[in-house]
């Protein structure tokens, strides 16, 4: 009774696949949306090989996580910067694969980008190793692959991002100096085990080891989440009412500051903030009542991705990368400087930037084409 449909399915799968496999391997090129592009596979022998292909180039984006302002701003500014190149006829519309998905889903995103015949891929990886084989496949097809925001150690894959460890050291050093090298503090970290968090906490530990009189009373995770950060900070304030300072990072710093405001201790601890407009505005509010309140916001710019786009375009145009300027685990990392650090001295400057921006806006910086050329490419 149940057998018939099963045979039908088996037969269907087999027949369909055999017929189509028989059609020959590289069937039609996937350039239905980019008719001006030479196909990637060599069906038409008259076409030049991939390497010597001229503009306009097609660049693909793979992003597996959409529920954060960082990613939203990243995608929006990528589209924005690409328009510059489109106007010059250097690139076509970006091919964006962006949706909440898992490792298998991001592998599918990357495979689809390859099938669409893109010339370069910017990927914000969901997993430090899970995409390795897929990315190598792309590299072997002559596609320029750049991992943005998250450093990968895959041969042939470039990285573009800030130095997470240095980024954390900046605010940790500031905190230690503001405290005069002594006092008791707490730490609120992001996702334990997440590579960016690991690098950042290493930086913090490195800095604090030089200040033996600073005592770390406790450390907990705020999961890069505002509400969790607030909850953790409230617990800390209840347990340690005489806290001198706290170190935290983006996403959680607003929550931590709100917890401090709610607890309203006699002396506000010196805390690390974040480069988000909402935070700067909250900071300004606090200063009205507590003019001696101290905090710092080190920008974590989503602009590293559009900067990565500029690097990709220049590489596609055949410009030579100055390898001596690259760093990182495999010597393929373009390290982008932090664009802005806000302290009490330049808070007004930060607020000026935020004036016509939504609260969720992250202080940003995108290198210009000329800056990218001067910094990373041979003259």
Q: Under the rule (CB under 8 A), what is the footprint of another protein?
A: 1-6, 8-10, 12-14, 16-18, 20-21, 23-30, 32-33, 66, 75, 95-105, 107-109, 111-112, 114-116, 127-133, 192-193, 195, 198
Q: Which is nearer to another protein, 14 or 262 (CB)?
A: 14
Q: Which is nearer to another protein, 199 or 338 (CB)?
A: 199
Report in angstroms how near the CB of residue 202 gets to another protein at its nearest: 13
Q: Which is nearer to another protein, 8 or 242 (CB)?
A: 8
Give the span between the Cα atoms of 85 and 12, in whole angstroms: 46
Q: Which residue has the tokens 């302290």?
A: 343
Give the span between the Cα atoms of 257 and 247, in whole angstroms: 11
Report in angstroms how near the CB of residue 73 gets to another protein at its nearest: 13
Q: Which is nearer to another protein, 126 or 230 (CB)?
A: 126
Give the span between the Cα atoms of 158 and 119, in whole angstroms: 14
Report in angstroms how near the CB of residue 153 gets to another protein at its nearest: 11
Give the span between the Cα atoms of 56 and 88, in whole angstroms: 9
Q: Which is nearer to another protein, 155 or 265 (CB)?
A: 155
Report in angstroms how near the CB of residue 14 gets to another protein at its nearest: 7
Q: What is the token pair recorded at 181? A: 């090298």
Q: Which is nearer to another protein, 96 or 256 (CB)?
A: 96
Report in angstroms how near the CB of residue 17 gets to another protein at its nearest: 6
Q: Could you tell me the CA-to-CA distances from 331 to 155, 157, 253 in Å, in that order?
A: 10, 10, 33
Strand arrangement of the beta sheet that strand 295-298 belongs to? 214-221, 183-189, 245-247, 270-272, 295-298, 341-342
Report in angstroms how near the CB of residue 36 gets to another protein at its nearest: 16
Q: Which is nearer to another protein, 94 or 341 (CB)?
A: 94
Q: Residue 262's closest CA among 229, 294, 296?
A: 229
Report in angstroms how near the CB of residue 108 gets to another protein at its nearest: 5
Q: Are 310 and 373 in contact (CB under 8 A)?
A: no
Q: Are 96 and 72 in contact (CB under 8 A)?
A: no
Tell how strand 295-298 and strand 341-342 pair up: antiparallel
Q: Which is nearer to another protein, 12 or 360 (CB)?
A: 12
Could you write out the DSSP letters of every residue in 42-107? Answer: TTSTTSPPGGG--SSB-EEEEE---SSHHHHHHHHHHHHHHHHHHHTTSB---EEEE-S--HHHHH
Report in angstroms how near the CB of residue 4 gets to another protein at its nearest: 7
């Amino acid at each position: 009774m149940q057998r018939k449909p099963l045979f039908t399915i088996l037969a269907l799968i087999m027949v369909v696949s055999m017929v189509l496999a028989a059609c020959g391997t590289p069937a039609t090129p996937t350039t239905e949306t980019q008719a001006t592009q030479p196909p990637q596979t060599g069906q038409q022998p008259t076409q030049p090989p991939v390497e010597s292909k001229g503009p306009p180039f097609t660049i693909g984006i793979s992003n597996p996580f959409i529920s954060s302002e960082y990613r939203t701003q990243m995608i929006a500014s990528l589209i924005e910067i690409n328009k510059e190149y489109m106007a010059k006829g250097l690139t076509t519309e970006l091919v964006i694969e962006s949706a909440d998905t898992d490792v298998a889903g991001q592998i599918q995103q990357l495979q689809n980008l390859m099938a669409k015949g893109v010339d370069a891929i910017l990927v914000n990886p969901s997993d430090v190793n899970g995409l390795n084989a897929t990315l190598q496949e792309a590299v072997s097809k002559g596609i320029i692959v750049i991992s943005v925001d998250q450093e990968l150690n895959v041969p042939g894959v470039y990285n573009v991002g800030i130095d997470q460890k240095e980024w954390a050291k900046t605010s940790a050093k500031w905190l230690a100096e503001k405290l005069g090298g002594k006092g008791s503090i707490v730490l609120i970290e992001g996702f334990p085990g997440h590579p960016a968090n690991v690098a950042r906490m290493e930086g913090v530990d490195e800095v604090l080891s030089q200040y033996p009189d600073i005592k770390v009373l406790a450390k907990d995770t705020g999961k890069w989440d505002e509400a969790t950060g607030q909850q953790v900070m409230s617990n800390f304030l209840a347990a340690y009412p005489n806290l001198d300072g706290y170190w935290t990072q983006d996403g959680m710093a607003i929550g931590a500051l709100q917890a401090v405001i709610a607890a309203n201790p006699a002396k506000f601890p010196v805390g690390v903030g974040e480069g988000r407009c909402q935070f700067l505005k909250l900071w300004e509010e606090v200063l009205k009542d507590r003019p001696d309140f101290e905090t710092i916001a080190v920008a974590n710019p989503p602009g590293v991705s559009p900067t990565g786009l500029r690097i990709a375009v220049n590489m596609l145009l055949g410009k030579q990368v100055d390898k001596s300027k690259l760093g990182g685990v495999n010597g393929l990392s373009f390290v982008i400087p932090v664009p802005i650090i806000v302290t009490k001295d330049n808070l007004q400057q930060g607020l000026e930037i935020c004036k016509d921006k939504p609260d969720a806006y992250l202080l940003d910086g995108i290198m210009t084409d000329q800056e990218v050329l001067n910094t990373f490419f041979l003259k």
